[in-house]
């Protein structure tokens, strides 16, 4: 019993000592709990208040609840303990609360050591996954940045690659633009450049490749650059701050040369490129874009591949071995299919890849498809095309990026003409001035031409430089459109039934006719038979179409069998011929709204054009352009304002006319006659067309003299007689031409003298007289040019300069020496 008591007393003493010890420790433990609550409570509120979009900052909800429970438990116990500490008579409770505080503290430490660490690990894993997803997303959407990309497979681009590489290897700051159609291989070539050993040797790790995309975000691009350089991404305040921070970054890493590739910069984003221009030694920017961005200099243009390179690229994607015996069965198919791809690297990739390891029948089916349709209509073969492989979608994006409907409509209009043929810019001006209410001089139309060229939607060929931009003389300029783009233009009109289309394109070959044409003729025949049998007049049923533009193309064997069409809304009629004899359609006289007629013969000989008298029924007809046709006797065209004759026979029109030409075309404002070899003199009464403002007679080598009464044309502003090699006589007096601004007699090699009173042309602004080798003296009246109220430009060659040097003191005269032009492009203008 005593032992029991003794043992119990000993245990009580130990318990008392432990109690006293715990009581003494209570204060410090309580203070630790207070500091823990103070530190963690604000942090918990910050975590809870973060938005759900802060994916990298906010833990999961269950982790927040668990952490909050632990902190709130400590907080409640601390509040109770603080009350006990203020009441001294409850000091015996100190050990119990101290034990609870210590237990809470140990439990919280375990939570921090295990759960929170796991939460951090999970968050790190989540961050890694997000970054990986962002990387994958960037690869899928062509966004993001990397160093020198892996060299892609490309063929037929070596010359252009070398050209771009030379530019990048030069010293100094520069921006170069690599331009081309969607799917033409711009990105491929840029990546190939970045992988080039010489480029990598020069720029090392400072090669940055950023895909900008359609809706560029400057901050995202800058952020990507910072991340690639392994720098902490600053918080950008605005675009200006972003550029400043980015400049500091590039200068920091720019002790070595820097190459920045801005890939897929969309039209209208020139200002974005400008923001990346910094004054740094050996800092290069390469821009790839569908727009030429001419403000950065002459671009490097990617044209469609030629046939041989296209075949090689197709072989690669189709995995063909042309050395194998089985290849002989595919050889002809390969060449036909490659032709259908129209030189597009993207098309070759898609088509070649789709035929890889496919049976022979699949190849035959593809070839037959291309014999009847455009590759842009191949969606049935590739219904699951991605945006990166959808050629039609890529080209359509370029068209949709045009700022206004006029530009888009003008692009579609170019598809109305035959493929592989240059379209005279003057033809387009005539059309667009009428259809879209553009200015008569063609300035607005030419602005559209330049914009389409800049977007790589057309090419413009200047056959011979006979005038400057300010002259607004466009006879030597032609528009060319690639086959793919022509197909794109034609597809825009195919969405509706033919009788409802705004543009109606009709191809007539031999005796073949469209189904709707045959149906209309059959209905007409039935009507005529019924009328004959019954003895009653029944009007033949006519095919009514709503087209505003009607384009009809025929081949050499066309039989002039016309459908009785009723194109009541047509304002423009385009006739593309290849036959030696051609009559205007009978329905022409019903085209009451017709304002523009364009007749072009693409055959070898001039085509005999009959039924020209039908045009006399058209009171709204204002513009006629005839090319390579024998112009018949003119009918009265009272409202005609512009007549253009190119490579035509004019004898019947000008010499056999029974009435004066001034009575035939009394309101003519502009006459252009070009390459008409049978023109010897202008028709009688010509100078009585007093409303004429522009007269251009060019390359008419048999024209020998101009009429003496030309001074009667008091409204004449432009007289252009260039390259009339047999012209020996100008009028003696021209002082009546009080409004003449431009006189061009360039390359009139037989002209011995100028009009005696030429110096009295007080409105003259430009006199072009280069190549006038027979001119040996200027008339004394040139001294009166000193009385001009404006500056006059004289363009001449060395001999001409010497003539004007004899009159050194004439004010207001600026003499310009013409450059010698060595150019055979002009042969395009004399196509046979």
Please report where in the chains the tokens 């009295």 appear, as a residue: 760
Dihedral (Cα; 223, 229, 232, 233), 10-degree rounding: -10
CA dihedral 702, 708, 714, 717 (to 10 degrees): 30
Pairing of strands 174-180, 283-289: parallel
Q: How many helices (H) and strands (E) does the chain have?
A: 23, 27
Q: How far, in Å, CA of 366 to CA of 375, rounded?
A: 10
Under DSSP, the state recorded for 321 is -
Element (H, E) at 766: strand 766-768
Please list the residue range(s) of the chain that carry CATH number 3.80.10.10. Answer: 641-832
Biggest CA-to-CA distance, the chain: 159
The more confidently predicted of residues 670 and 462 is 670
Q: Which distant-in-sequence residues (6+ apart) come within 8 Å of 716 by Cβ? A: 692, 693, 694, 695, 710, 737, 739, 740
600-613: pLDDT as tens digits = 999 888 999 999 99
- Strands 629-630 and 670-674 turn out to be unpaired
Report the pLDDT value the prediction gives residue 630, as an integer from 0 to 100.
93
**Cα–Cα dist 756/108, whole Å:** 112
pLDDT band at 814 (very low <50, low <70, confident <90, very high): very high
- For position 75, what pLDDT does the model report? 65
Give the C-alpha separation, 798 to 773, whole Å.
10
Chain centre distance of CA 512: 37
pLDDT tens track for 707-748: 999 989 999 999 999 999 999 999 998 988 999 999 999 999
Superfamily of domain 641-832 in the CATH hierarchy: Ribonuclease Inhibitor (3.80.10.10)
Greater pLDDT, 89 or 326: 326
The 10s digit of each residue's pLDDT in 605-646 is 899 999 999 999 999 999 999 999 999 888 899 999 999 999
> How many Å apart are CA 747 and CA 701, to the nearest integer?
11
Model confidence at 205, pLDDT cuts 50, 70, 90, reads: confident
pLDDT more than 70, % of the chain:
73
Query: pLDDT per residue over 253-273, tens digit each?
Result: 767 888 999 988 888 888 888
Mean pLDDT on 794-816: 91
pLDDT at residue 88 greater than cutoff 50: no
Instruction: Round to whole Å and give the CA distance between 300 and 232.
Output: 36
**Mean confidence (pLDDT) of the chain:** 79
Which residues, 6 or more positions from 70, have their beta carbon under 8 angstroms from its beta carbon?
107, 108, 111
DSSP string over 636-689: P-TT--EEEEES-B-HHHHHS-SS-HHHHSTT--EEEEES-TT--SPPTTGGG-
User: Range(s) for CATH 1.10.10.10 in the chain?
Assistant: 402-491
The tens digit of pLDDT for each residue in 518-545 reads 655 444 444 444 444 444 333 445 678 8
Q: For tokens 């008409």, what's the residue?
A: 676
Range in 34-48, 624-638, 661-675, 796-810 the model is least confident about: 34-48
Handedness of CA 389, 393, 397, 399 (dihedral sign): positive
Residue that the structure tokens 């007393």 belong to: 9
Q: What residues contact residue 569 under an 8 Å CB cut-off, 6+ apart?
A: 545, 546, 547, 548, 593
Strand ranges in 547-592 using DSSP code E only, listed in sequence order: 549-554, 565-566, 572-577, 581-583
Question: According to the model, what pLDDT value does residue 130 have?
Answer: 38
* Residue burial 473-509, b: 16+ Cβ < 10 Å; e: rest: bbbbbbbbbbbbbbbbbbbbbeeeebeebebbbbebe
First to last CA, the chain: 138
Question: Would you mind telling me the total number of residues written for the chain in this entry?
Answer: 832
Q: Looking at 43-52, 514-523, 570-579, 747-756, which range is the least confident one?
A: 43-52
Beta carbons of 724 and 748 less than 8 angstroms apart: yes
Instruction: Name the pLDDT band for 597 (thresholds 50, 70, 90).
Output: very high
Looking at domain 144-302, does it have CATH number 1.10.8.50? Answer: no
pLDDT (0 to 100) of residue 496: 78
Which listed CATH number (2.60.120, 2.30.30, 1.10.8, 1.10.10) goes with 307-392?
1.10.8
Q: In percent, how much of the chain has pLDDT > 90?
A: 29
Residue 479, CA atoms < 13 Å, CB-side half-sphere: 31
> What does the pLDDT average to over 640-667?
88
Fold of 402-491: Arc Repressor Mutant, subunit A (1.10.10)
């Amino acid at each position: 019993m005593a032992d029991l008591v003794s043992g119990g007393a000993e245990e009580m003493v130990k318990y008392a000592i432990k109690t006293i010890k715990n009581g003494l420790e209570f204060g410090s433990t309580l203070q630790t709990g207070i500091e823990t609550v103070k530190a963690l409570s604000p942090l918990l509120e910050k975590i809870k208040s973060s938005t759900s979009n802060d994916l990298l900052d906010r833990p999961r909800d269950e982790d927040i609840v668990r952490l909050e429970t632990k902190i709130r438990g400590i907080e409640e116990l601390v509040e109770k303990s603080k009350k006990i500490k203020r009441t001294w008579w409850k000091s015996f409770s100190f050990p119990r609360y101290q034990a609870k505080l210590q237990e809470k503290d140990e439990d919280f430490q375990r939570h921090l050591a295990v759960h929170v660490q796991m939460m951090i690990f999970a968050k790190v894993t989540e961050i890694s996954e997000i970054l990986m997803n962002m990387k994958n997303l960037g690869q899928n959407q062509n966004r993001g940045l990397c160093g020198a990309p892996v060299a892609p497979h490309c063929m037929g681009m070596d010359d252009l690659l070398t050209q771009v590489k030379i530019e990048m290897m030069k010293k100094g700051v520069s921006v170069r633009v690599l331009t081309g159609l969607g799917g033409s291989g711009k990105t491929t070539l840029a990546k190939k450049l970045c992988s080039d050993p010489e480029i990598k040797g020069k720029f090392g790790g400072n090669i940055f490749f950023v895909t900008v995309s359609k809706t560029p975000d400057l901050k995202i691009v800058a952020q990507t650059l910072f991340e690639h350089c392994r720098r902490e991404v600053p918080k950008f305040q605005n675009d200006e701050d972003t550029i400043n921070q980015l400049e500091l970054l590039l200068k920091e890493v720019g002790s070595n040369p820097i190459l920045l590739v801005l890939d897929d910069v969309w039209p209208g984003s020139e200002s974005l490129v400008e923001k990346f221009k910094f004054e740094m030694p050996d800092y290069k920017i390469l821009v790839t874009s569908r727009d030429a961005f001419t403000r950065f200099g002459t671009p490097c243009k990617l044209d469609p591949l030629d046939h041989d390179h296209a075949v090689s690229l197709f072989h690669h994607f189709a995995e063909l071995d042309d050395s194998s015996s089985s290849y002989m069965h595919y050889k002809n198919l390969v060449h036909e299919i490659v032709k259908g791809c129209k030189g597009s690297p993207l098309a070759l990739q898609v088509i070649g890849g789709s035929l890889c390891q496919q049976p022979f029948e699949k190849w035959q089916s593809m070839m037959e498809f291309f014999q009847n349709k455009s590759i842009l209509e191949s969606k049935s073969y590739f219904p699951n095309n991605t945006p990166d492989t959808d050629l039609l979608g890529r080209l359509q994006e370029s068209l949709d990026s045009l700022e206004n409907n006029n530009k888009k409509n003008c692009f579609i209009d170019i598809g109305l003409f035959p493929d592989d043929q240059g379209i005279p810019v003057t033809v387009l001006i005539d059309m667009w001035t009428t259809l879209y209410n553009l200015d008569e001089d063609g300035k607005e139309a030419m602005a559209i031409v330049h914009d389409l060229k800049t977007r790589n939607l057309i090419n413009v060929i200047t056959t011979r430089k006979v005038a400057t931009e300010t002259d607004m003389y466009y006879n030597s300029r032609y528009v060319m459109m690639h086959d793919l783009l022509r197909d794109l233009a034609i597809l825009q009109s195919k969405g509706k039934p033919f009788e409802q289309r705004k543009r109606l394109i009709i191809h007539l070959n031999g005796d073949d006719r469209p189904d709707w044409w045959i149906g209309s003729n059959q209905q007409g025949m039935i009507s005529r038979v019924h009328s004959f049998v019954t003895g009653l007049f029944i009007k033949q049923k006519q095919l009514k179409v709503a087209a505003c533009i009607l384009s009809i193309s025929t081949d050499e064997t066309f039989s002039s069998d016309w459908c009785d069409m009723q194109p009541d809304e047509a304002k423009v009629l385009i006739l593309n011929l290849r036959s030696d004899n051609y009559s205007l359609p009978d329905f022409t006289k019903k085209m009451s709204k017709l304002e523009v007629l364009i007749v072009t013969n693409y055959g070898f000989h001039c085509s005999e054009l009959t039924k020209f008298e039908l045009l006399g029924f058209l009171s709204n007809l204002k513009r006629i352009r005839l090319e390579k046709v024998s112009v018949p006797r003119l009918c009265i065209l009272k409202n005609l304002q512009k007549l253009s004759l190119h490579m035509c026979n004019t004898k019947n029109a000008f010499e056999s006319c029974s009435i004066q030409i001034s009575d035939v075309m009394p309101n003519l404002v502009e006459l252009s006659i070009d390459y008409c070899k049978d023109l010897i003199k202008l028709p009688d009464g010509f100078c009585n067309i007093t409303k004429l403002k522009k007269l251009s007679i060019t390359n008419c080598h048999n024209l020998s003299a101009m009429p003496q009464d030309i001074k009667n044309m008091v409204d004449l502003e432009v007289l252009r007689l260039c390259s009339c090699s047999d012209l020996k006589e100008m009028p003696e007096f021209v002082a009546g031409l009080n409004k003449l601004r431009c006189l061009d007699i360039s390359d009139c090699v037989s002209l011995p003298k100028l009009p005696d009173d030429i110096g009295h042309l007080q409105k003259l602004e430009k006199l072009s007289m280069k190549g006038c080798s027979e001119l040996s003296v200027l008339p004394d009246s040139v001294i009166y040019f000193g009385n001009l109220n404006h500056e006059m430009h004289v363009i001449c060659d060395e001999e001409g300069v010497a003539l004007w040097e004899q009159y050194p003191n004439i004010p207001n005269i600026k003499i310009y020496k013409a450059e010698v032009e060595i150019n055979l492009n002009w042969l395009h203008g004399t196509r046979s």
